Structure 1
């Protein structure tokens, strides 16, 4: 049985922090692969994405193409509508019964877990890997026991980069060189994403 990490999110745009998070989880938690699943419409985000779902998918494909342990799935884009982790997990477990799955989340999202759609059922299907950052320590003691039981923590190097910061830099004409993979930056410039 292969152990698969799930990196979900808007990836608007994907950046080196996402890649470092995925590699940290893979190395520290013994994952065989990490699957990136760009969301069509995330339920807990207030802002609309800056690039459309297909563009975000293609940027993630470009970002991970040289890593044999990373792959990208478009299942949430194909399904459309609000992207609930439960629906994605149920589809993955049904389609790949020979694998075990763990959602990779930042320590800032750990305490949000009880708010996730159908969280008790989701926790029956998958485990969770919480990536702790020194500036945002995890506080799992406040979680229900059924979630604490399914949660592993791993320390991640501090990376002070967010997709929001990158979009703001791009819209104001500032450089984001080295914050995103070169191929992704080329796509952003070529297609005029985020006002470039």
Structure 2
């Protein structure tokens, strides 16, 4: 039997592994019915964006919010257009239409699964008010959702800074503004100037929204 010999110079092992790891883009999502959008939404988005150094903030109108009476929200096409008008002068703000395009109940978990699949290069920061932080344990598939996003909580008077989930807290100016109160004022023809962005308010008046049950 012939003796087999192996020459060391015939076998080469590479100890250098080139790995190109690009940092993920960091963007925020502010979800809601935006029924209607108001300056409080814009201030929250701006504060979170700057304090956390995010690349962009996406406003994500829901189709049919699972935690609210959907009869209280006007048609999604109006809410989407109101948001587009409210943010069009800020290049850092944009609209995420995935929930409206999908229709049905807007569960955040389902939305984020889809967004992560479509944009694996993005790290999402999901912005919620202090009242929603308290409600998080009741969210659909919350344990799985918490693995997909970083939650960003904004202070809300009367709500504690406590949660069983990891929350990045951002301090924003306290504003007693709500879409509910604005709808009531609009219905009664009370002034809402400066509380709703001017272009959005003009659209509301042109379309007769929040009047006579619209």
Q: CA RMSD in A?
A: 1.3
Q: Is the 8 A contact 1:50 1:194 kept in 2?
A: no
Q: CA deviation at 1:160?
A: 1.1
Matched, 1:139 2:161: yes
Q: Give the secondary structure class of the aligned counterpart of 1:14.
A: coil
Matches within 5 A, 1:1-196: 1-46=24-69, 48-133=71-156, 135-140=157-162, 143-144=163-164, 147-148=165-166, 151-195=167-211
Q: CA deviation at 1:29?
A: 1.6
Q: Distance in 2 between matches of 1:47 and 1:38?
A: 13
Q: Distance in 1 between matches of 2:48 and 2:71?
A: 28
Q: Give the secondary structure class of the aligned counterpart of 2:146.
A: helix
Structure whose alpha-carbon radius of gyration is higher: 2
Q: Is the 8 A contact 1:22 1:34 kept in 2?
A: yes
Q: Is the 8 A contact 2:64 2:70 kept in 1?
A: no
TM-score (norm 2): 0.85
Structure (1 or 2) with the greater helix fraction: 1
Q: Distance in 1 between matches of 2:112 and 2:69?
A: 23
Q: Is the 8 A contact 2:33 2:73 kept in 1?
A: no
Q: Is the 8 A contact 1:102 1:128 kept in 2?
A: yes
Question: Which digits, 9 at most, give the CA deviation of each residue in 1:31-87, with x for residues without a partner?
Answer: 111001100011111352342101000000011111111100211111010000001
TM-score (norm 1): 0.93
Q: Distance in 2 between matches of 1:190 and 1:154?
A: 36
Gaps of 5+ in 2: 1-23
**Most deviating of 48-57 and 79-88:** 48-57
